[in-house]
Amino acid sequence: MKEMESVNWKVEGMSCANCALSVSKYLEKEGMKNVKVNPIDGDVHFEIVELDEGVAKSLTRGIESLGYKVVDEKLATSSATSRPPMNKYLRYLLICLPFTIVLMLHMIPGLHIHGLMKPWVQFALCLPVYIVGMSFFGRSAIKSLASGSPNMNVLIAIGATAAFVYSLIGTLMGQGDQYLFYETSASIITLVFLGNYMEDVSIQSTQRELNKLAKSQKVMANMIAFDDRHQEIIFPIENTQLKSGDLILVKNGEQVPADAKILWGQASVSEAIVTGESLPVEKKAKDKLIGGSLIIDGTVKAQVISAADQSVLANIINLVKKAQGDKPPVQKLADRISAIFVPVVLVISLFTFVGNYIYLEDFTSALMRSIAVLVVACPCAMGLATPAAIAVGLGRAAKNGILFRNAKSLEAFREIRQVVFDKTGTLTTGNFELGGFQAMDIDEAEFKRIAYSLERYSNHPIAQCVTKAFKSSTEIRWAKIEEVKGRGMHAFSKDGDEYWASSYALANEHTDEDHHNVYIIRNNQLIGWIDVKDEIREEARTVINYLHSKNVKTILLSGDRQRKSEELGKTLGIDTVIAERTPEEKLQIIENLNEETPTAMIGDGINDAPALAKATIGVSLSDASQVAMQTADVVLMNHGLKNLPLALGLGKHTLITIKQNLAWAFAYNIIAIPIAAFGYLTPTFGALVMGLSDVVLAINSVRLFVKRVY
């Protein structure tokens, strides 16, 4: 079976959530899998077995037949540095506004301009506004009706057209004084453009943190090459042209153009754009640089290890974009209502007209009330309730080095009642330090010299810890030394003595104490042992205490020895300790815990991958360069446990914001539509209120940027 290909497109022209629903339905009907459409920034993600040129063209034509436009992101990227075009809603607003203002002058008390009251003058002023409005709302409405997914523009187009045609009929019949509603048609169109512009600006602000990351993707790089004489040449090149293996020079104050490894030089580097950490990090030869980070002080020569589109930063942005297109279960009801909202409003508008005509026996009043119902209704609010909040929540999380793989994880955090921690590399740093040692029948200084001389030839983390602790200038010159896998270091001195630095597997004949890390053996006789301890993360205790304050049970699940695990659990105050377990056993334990109550598993994302996948929420502590390879639902980058409370808080409060948005959207429509139907809201004021309803929703979502969440 062929592997599914992941496709990311940019689609322009989506003005509401119903538009996104239309695109999503079309792609699913064409057989695309895992379709995610983000109406906020136009990102469309789907999976297909193979996307050849013919299929791509067919899908593009299909999407464009719905009234939208598929944009080539490469072309968009190449023009990103040029001046951005004016917002389309602002452009339409500026065209319509002068005509609408003049049309409405006669409504100002005490101001009577006789010429403006003439029907044909009002028709001439309204016509340009109506044509501009229908070129946008009308075209979109017709295409959405043809696709079977009517959008908000159907309501606007019908409302504006009804007022315009009614006025035109009166003008043609010579009864214009009783039929003058041209200003109603023009004001509906103009105010909806104003509302759309305000909504667009406020919604786009929800993307600001992600936009900062995206802008950091494209920079100029100093590429190093060599001429025929092997002399070094440095020339500028866009980082999008860099490939793995290229050599680059990054100078003081410059941005690192791509993920790279330092070959020469030292630098102080700010990785805040990726990790959220403001303090600079010292980097030297062989250290890795993250693309998008900034050289605060120093100059380095480095080798590119990832092309721009495969960099850590690119992976972060793609990950967040996919998550933003996802929908948590709480949105399902809103989606079902949005899908039938426009037809329902059309029916309500029809009943409003008929009922008011029968009751009032006045065609004009009945028509105005039915038009008010059309323009005050707002399906956008329900559709945008979730993506607006998710965009903010995920943007703030990305800024702080927290990556949610899907929006479902946000809602799942609400149910978490217990958190399971791995030990090494999770609660501890993985950086070993000397815990203690014992020399037997040998001088302590000589014991240290022997241990140092053996372990300095090993790259094992424990050996490096011993080497650092026992560093000596009088090391032993071995006649022969080798590292035996699974056993330790084996050496012979020039005098013929045999030495081992090994685990308990070789020392079990000499002692019953099996809890030490390194045993030093000389000529088959134990001469001492060494213990190392893994350094506890400084934030571990704070995080455990935070979880306890929220009545969340904590569990340590480790493959390490029971005694060491219990010591760590006691030090940190962990509720339950389960040790000496294989990855298979960990998986079974997580499965059992999940049956009891929703469980989060925190691990390194590699050895614990099965357990992370099985948990209600898997949280991975990841080295930034491996972020794209993690299998967890949530990835905490570079900070260890530090941001776990923020991740939990953002999950909870993003869901709260979604519910607040949905409550506002439902309440607004439930209240506004009847008010319009009973004549307490004019079409003009209804159009203004409809536009402002989405702005309220966006402002509530933006609060997540600054809201205290834990």
What residues act catalytically? 422
The whole-angstrom separation of Cα 565 and Cα 578 is: 8
Q: Quick check: helix, strand or coil at residue 315?
A: helix
The whole-angstrom separation of Cα 377 and Cα 277 is: 45
Q: How many CB atoms lie within 10 A of CB 685?
A: 16
Roughly what angle, to the nearest 10 degrees, separates helices 152-172 and 182-204? 160
The whole-angstrom separation of Cα 624 and Cα 639 is: 10
Short-list 70, 74, 44, CA closest to 56: 70
Residue type, 393: G
Cβ atoms of 497 and 522 within 8 Å: the answer is yes
The whole-angstrom separation of Cα 517 and Cα 503 is: 6
| Bridge partners (DSSP) listed for residue 298 | 267
Q: Quick check: helix, strand or coil at residue 542?
A: helix
Find the distance separating the first CA and the last CA of the chain, reported in whole Å: 46
| Bridge partners (DSSP) listed for residue 501 | 489, 520
The whole-angstrom separation of Cα 329 and Cα 320 is: 18
The whole-angstrom separation of Cα 575 and Cα 552 is: 10
Helix (H) or strand (E) holding 557: strand 553-557
- Burial class of 515 by CB neighbour count within 10 A (0 to 12, 13 to 18, 19+): exposed
The whole-angstrom separation of Cα 288 and Cα 263 is: 10
Say which residues have a Cβ less than 8 Å from residue 480's Cβ, sequence separation at least 6.
491, 492
The whole-angstrom separation of Cα 360 and Cα 378 is: 27
Short-list 570, 678, 14, 626, CA closest to 310: 626
CA 343, 347, 348, 353 dihedral sign is positive
The whole-angstrom separation of Cα 320 and Cα 391 is: 9
The whole-angstrom separation of Cα 103 and Cα 316 is: 51
The whole-angstrom separation of Cα 524 and Cα 160 is: 97
The whole-angstrom separation of Cα 362 and Cα 365 is: 6
Residue with tokens 């808080």: 649
The whole-angstrom separation of Cα 27 and Cα 54 is: 15
The whole-angstrom separation of Cα 254 and Cα 252 is: 6
The whole-angstrom separation of Cα 288 and Cα 256 is: 11
- Tokens describing residue 286: 């062989």
The whole-angstrom separation of Cα 245 and Cα 367 is: 70
Strands 525-536 and 428-439: what pairing? antiparallel
Residue type, 311: S
Phi first, then psi: give them for residue 291, nearest 5 degrees.
-60, 135
Short-list 676, 626, 616, CA closest to 651: 616
| Bridge partners (DSSP) listed for residue 264 | 301
Distances (CA, A) of 648 to 5, 487, 651: 32, 43, 5
